[in-house]
A and B are shown apart, each in its own frame.
Chain A
Amino acid sequence: MTTTDSGVELMSVNNLSFFYGTNKALSEVTMPIKKNRITSLIGPSGCGKTTLLRCFNRMHDLYPRNHYEGEIVLDGVNILDKSMDLIKLRGKIGMVFQKPTPFPMSIFDNVAYGLRLNDIGNSSVLAEKVEKALRQAALWDEVKDRLKQNAAGLSGGQQQRLSIARTLAVDPEVILLDESTSALDPVSTQKIEDLLLELKKEVTIVAVTHNMQQAARISDFTALMYIGKLVEYDETETIFARPANEITERYVTGRFG
């Protein structure tokens, strides 16, 4: 399933540390993010994998007293730079959350949300883009007849695919997934996994997951984190078959803690 060619580096995390107030939550993380690949972040809860994920779209900036050290370089620019335009950054790097987050509006308006922010005024262009995003998220056939209905009426799995469609609609380069299937049933999870494998042809995916089978199934690269540090990063096959680090071995074989 995993590709063995190493791929092009889209982003590089260099010596990244992150602090909640004075509490150091990430210590000197260095790793690449390969283009058109799925990278999984795994590790026990509290290990910093979600914290790392939220650095990529500067989600931490919403809350006071947080700060970054080190850099994350995308297209030759350090996105952690103070002068970084977060609105543009978040248009480039989308995020799908742990739980489905349908906005209180219709299915169509949900997907159009990000597009309208950027003034896609032409309604036929808008409708086209919404349809494309819904198709990409494998949701179009299920909702095409009820686009005007409130999104809250969809099932949990549909809502999560709607969140993905909403993220895809603005054409991001990277999609961050924060345990995005953890609240879903196995059938919905399967659908989303299939979807991700399809999507990686067009976008780069970074996924936090607590489900190691999932990481093994879908990702090309896997990073194992432990107490705020990156323990090991490698191709997924290597991580699961021939881990270099003892912690990794104990974790992936389920003999942890």
Chain B
Amino acid sequence: MKRIEKRKITNLIALSASILCAALGLALLFLILYHVLVKGLESFSLGLFTQDPAPPNRAEAGGLRSAFLGQGLLTTAAVLAGVPLGVLGGTFLAEYGRDSKFCRLLSQLCDMAVSIPSIVIGTFVYAMLVKPFGGFNGWAGATALAIIILPVVIRTTEEMMTMIPWTLREAAFALGAPYHKVITSVVWRASINGIFTGILLAIARVAGETAPLLFTSFNSSFFRFNLSGSVPSLTVSIYQYAASPYESWISLAWAAAFMVTIMVLFLNILGRVLIKLRTRG
């Protein structure tokens, strides 16, 4: 009789502890979002997109237009390099190499590459593209980001294409289409939503990357439409301004953090919606 009471009490305590954990964990995580939102909105102004940072401790904090531009340039260049390479590579793994051991090894390697600490990628690109060329440059930054994108896109493409049933390809073969036609006109079309979601998530990931840019594109305050020389980015700007002793720069950092968070969340939600649409249709 007593034993059963004890068991029930243990159960109650353990389950209460789990509720407490959930409350604590979720509260902490939402607190982060809350602070970024509140502090970000406080410091937010349209000038953020149009002005350069003001010298410290002026009434006006100025803006981060060059960082927005630089971030855009770096990301675009990285996507242009990483996405086609990734989609084609993933296509090979899913189609031509689907039974090859070597290709399975490549898939595994991609899984590993996805989790290489991004700062290590930064040092690698520094050795390849910064040291030999005598200085920080945007091309190096874009390369570092592309290296982060590549394995993510390869794996998503591979997975999405493998999910397409073989009978669909047979139907196209039966009409006399060569394999590359079958891939480009049938398999890609059938898996486009999934692949696109993978690309969005990869972009979301690089949009928040800071460490690989520290030693590659670094930072600059020049507003230039050019990737040679140092290129500013939102994330490196956050890193430097938040560590500064000046109120006005710190508030710029919050504004930038707010923008980066919004962008990353937006891309993630968009990706999710796309996947939902696919599974429904």
The answer to A–B direct touch (Cβ < 8 A) is: yes
A119 to B3 alpha-carbon distance, docked (Å): 7
Is A118 in the interface zone, CB < 8 Å from B? yes
Name the residue on A nearest B4 (C-beta).
Answer: A87
Is B7 in the interface zone, CB < 8 Å from A? yes
Contact A87 B3 (CB under 8 A): no
A21 to B123 alpha-carbon distance, docked (Å): 59
A87 to B7 alpha-carbon distance, docked (Å): 10
Is B8 in the interface zone, CB < 8 Å from A? yes
Q: Annotate A182-226 by CB proximity to B: 1 below 8 A, 0 otherwise.
A: 000000000000000000000000000000000000000000000
B146: min CB distance to chain A, Å: 44
Residues of B contacting A119 with CB < 8 Å? 3
Name the residue on A nearest B6 (C-beta).
Answer: A119
Residues of B contacting A87 with CB < 8 Å? 4, 7-8
* CB proximity to A under 8 Å, residues B109-126: none
Contact B3 A118 (CB under 8 A): yes
A228: min CB distance to chain B, Å: 32
A122: min CB distance to chain B, Å: 14
Q: Annotate B1-29 by CB proximity to A: 1 below 8 A, 0 otherwise.
A: 00110011000000000000000000000
Is A117 in the interface zone, CB < 8 Å from B? yes
Which bracket fits the contact residues of A? under 10
Is A88 in the interface zone, CB < 8 Å from B? yes
Residues of B contacting A118 with CB < 8 Å? 3-4
* CB proximity to B under 8 Å, residues A102-129: 117-119
Residues of B contacting A88 with CB < 8 Å? 4
A117 to B7 alpha-carbon distance, docked (Å): 8
Residues of A contacting B4 with CB < 8 Å? 85, 87-88, 118
B1: min CB distance to chain A, Å: 10
* CB proximity to B under 8 Å, residues A49-72: none
A131 to B223 alpha-carbon distance, docked (Å): 81
Name the residue on A nearest B2 (C-beta).
Answer: A119
Residues of B contacting A85 with CB < 8 Å? 4
Name the residue on B nearest A121 (C-beta).
Answer: B3
A88 to B7 alpha-carbon distance, docked (Å): 12
Residues of A contacting B3 with CB < 8 Å? 118-119
A118 to B1 alpha-carbon distance, docked (Å): 9
Name the residue on A nearest B1 (C-beta).
Answer: A88
A45: min CB distance to chain B, Å: 28
A85 to B3 alpha-carbon distance, docked (Å): 14
A72 to B170 alpha-carbon distance, docked (Å): 58
B12: min CB distance to chain A, Å: 13
Residues of A contacting B7 with CB < 8 Å? 87, 117
B7: min CB distance to chain A, Å: 7
A179: min CB distance to chain B, Å: 30
Residues of B contacting A117 with CB < 8 Å? 7
A171 to B98 alpha-carbon distance, docked (Å): 55
A170: min CB distance to chain B, Å: 13
A119 to B8 alpha-carbon distance, docked (Å): 13
Name the residue on B nearest A119 (C-beta).
Answer: B3
A56 to B3 alpha-carbon distance, docked (Å): 24
A232 to B164 alpha-carbon distance, docked (Å): 50
A88 to B5 alpha-carbon distance, docked (Å): 11
Residues of A contacting B8 with CB < 8 Å? 87
B236: min CB distance to chain A, Å: 48
A44 to B187 alpha-carbon distance, docked (Å): 43
A84: min CB distance to chain B, Å: 13
A183: min CB distance to chain B, Å: 28
A88 to B4 alpha-carbon distance, docked (Å): 8
B122: min CB distance to chain A, Å: 43
Name the residue on B nearest A120 (C-beta).
Answer: B3
A1: min CB distance to chain B, Å: 40
A118 to B8 alpha-carbon distance, docked (Å): 11
* CB proximity to A under 8 Å, residues B178-218: none
A118 to B4 alpha-carbon distance, docked (Å): 7
A87 to B3 alpha-carbon distance, docked (Å): 12
A87 to B6 alpha-carbon distance, docked (Å): 12
Identify the 8 closest CB pairs spanning chains A and B, nearest first: A119-B3, A118-B3, A87-B4, A88-B4, A117-B7, A87-B7, A87-B8, A118-B4
List 9 contacting pairs A-B, 8 Å CB cutoff, sorted by A. A85-B4, A87-B4, A87-B7, A87-B8, A88-B4, A117-B7, A118-B3, A118-B4, A119-B3
Q: Chain A residues in contact with chain B, CB under 8 A?
A: 85, 87-88, 117-119
Q: Chain B residues in contact with chain A, CB under 8 A?
A: 3-4, 7-8
Known interface pairs A118-B3, A119-B3; 7 further A-B residue pairs with C-beta atoms within 8 A, sorted by A's residue number? A85-B4, A87-B4, A87-B7, A87-B8, A88-B4, A117-B7, A118-B4
